[in-house]
Amino acid sequence: MIGRYTRPEMGRIWELENKFAIWKEIEVLACEAQAELGQAGITREEAQWIRDHADFTVEEIDEIEKVTNHDVIAFTTCMANYIDADIPEGGDKPSRWVHYGMTSSDLGDTALSYQVTQACDIIIEDIKRLGETCKRRAFEFQNTLCVGRTHGIHAEPMTFGMKFGSWAWALKRALTRMEEARAVAATGAKGAALAAVDAIALLESPLGALCQTTVAVLAPPEVRVRRVMAREGISEHYARARVEAQRPDWYFSQNCDHTLINNFPTEGEFAQTARQFLQEVLPK
């Protein structure tokens, strides 16, 4: 963040101190959840020890990363040093459960989602305050005449309150969009490992047997033709020939556990639907 353009409360969200604090909380919560489930081997006492002793400093993480060249390993190593500091020589180290069964994306993506929600909360409150101010001013100046403008010149007279009213409605729409964006961002990684694999490579090799769940992402032929044309810059005739040369949709649907249809006009709409869909079908 560029300091001179950033308010302190927003800047703090994106500082390393806050990021690593969120990382620590995610790791501790994961340990506590594993202890609660009782399947991984970690005990409730070990989870509590990790909660009580986990710590870090940004400076120590930076020094470790100079050796590991990996930010997550540097972070977990630093945190382990604090967790195990009071463990007697030869004793079982509780830090062995930190990051157990997780990937770097489980940690980093979930933390980033939370940082985005923290930032959204600030913006949402600002929009609410500004919207209420514009609404109040709209009524205050509802009878105050002013010059209208169009194309940089004077136009029909209007009221000053009307200007504020239009801003209030615009901010109301902005508030809805921000709240929707926050809801999307608030969905963190749930621990399921995902991979996007070429369908033929998945279904015609032993790879498919290694997957707990498979999802076929399909689109109507006409949609695929348009997308191939746009992506490859080729003619409709050539794009259609490529689509028709592929296996039929039923082949993928029958050989996968689930099917997701991607006929959305934008990547954002598909991403939101796919996120909700995967939450429902992926193993918990």
Residues 154, 80: one domain? no
Q: Range of 22's domain?
A: 3-102
Q: Residue 18: inside a domain, yes or no? A: yes
Of the residues 125, 150, 185, which one is the last residue of a structural domain? 185
Distance, CA of 221 to CA of 75 (rounded, Å): 47
Q: Are 54 and 24 in contact (CB under 8 A)?
A: yes
Cα 2 to the chain's mean position, in Å? 23
Residues 10, 86: one domain? yes
Q: Residue 146: inside a domain, yes or no? A: yes
Residues 127, 167: one domain? yes
Q: Residue 170: inside a domain, yes or no? A: yes
Distance, CA of 273 to CA of 257 (rounded, Å): 18
Alpha helices for 54-157 (secondary structure H): 58-68, 71-83, 104-140
pLDDT for 201 = 65
pLDDT for 284 = 61
Residues 69, 149: one domain? no
**CATH number, residue 13:** 1.10.275.10
Residues 95, 9: one domain? yes
pLDDT for 207 = 64
Quote the number of domains for the chain. Answer: 3
Residues 223, 265: one domain? yes
pLDDT for 269 = 87
Q: Residue 135: inside a domain, yes or no? A: yes
pLDDT for 268 = 82
Residues 147, 210: one domain? no
- What tokens appear for 174 in the block? 């902005």
Residues 7, 97: one domain? yes
Of the residues 69, 102, 135, which one is the last residue of a structural domain? 102
Main-chain dihedrals φ then ψ at residue 18, nearest 5 degrees: -70, -40
**Nearest one of 126, 125, 122, 113 to 183, comparing CA atoms:** 113
Of the residues 51, 75, 102, which one is the last residue of a structural domain? 102
Per-residue pLDDT of the chain (284 residues; tens, 9 = 90+): 788 999 999 999 999 999 999 999 999 999 999 898 888 899 999 999 999 999 999 999 999 999 999 999 999 999 999 999 999 988 999 999 999 988 888 899 899 999 999 999 999 999 999 999 999 999 999 999 999 988 989 999 999 999 999 999 999 999 999 998 998 888 765 555 566 666 776 777 666 777 888 898 999 999 999 988 888 788 899 889 989 998 899 999 998 999 999 998 888 888 888 888 888 887 66
pLDDT tens per residue, range 211-248 = 888 898 999 999 999 988 888 788 899 889 989 998 89
Residues 18, 87: one domain? yes
Q: Residue 191: inside a domain, yes or no? A: no
Q: Reduced to 3 states, what is the DSSP secondary structure of residue 208?
A: helix
pLDDT for 96 = 95
Which residues contact residue 83 at a Cβ distance below 8 angstroms, ignoring those fewer than 6 apart? 49, 50, 53, 54, 93, 94, 95, 98
3-state DSSP helix/strand/coil % of the chain, to nearest 5? 65, 5, 25
Q: Residue 45: inside a domain, yes or no? A: yes
Q: Residue 274: inside a domain, yes or no? A: yes
pTM score, whole prediction = 0.66
Q: Are 277 and 260 in contact (CB under 8 A)?
A: yes
pLDDT for 179 = 93
Q: Residue 111: inside a domain, yes or no? A: no
pLDDT for 31 = 94
Residues 19, 96: one domain? yes
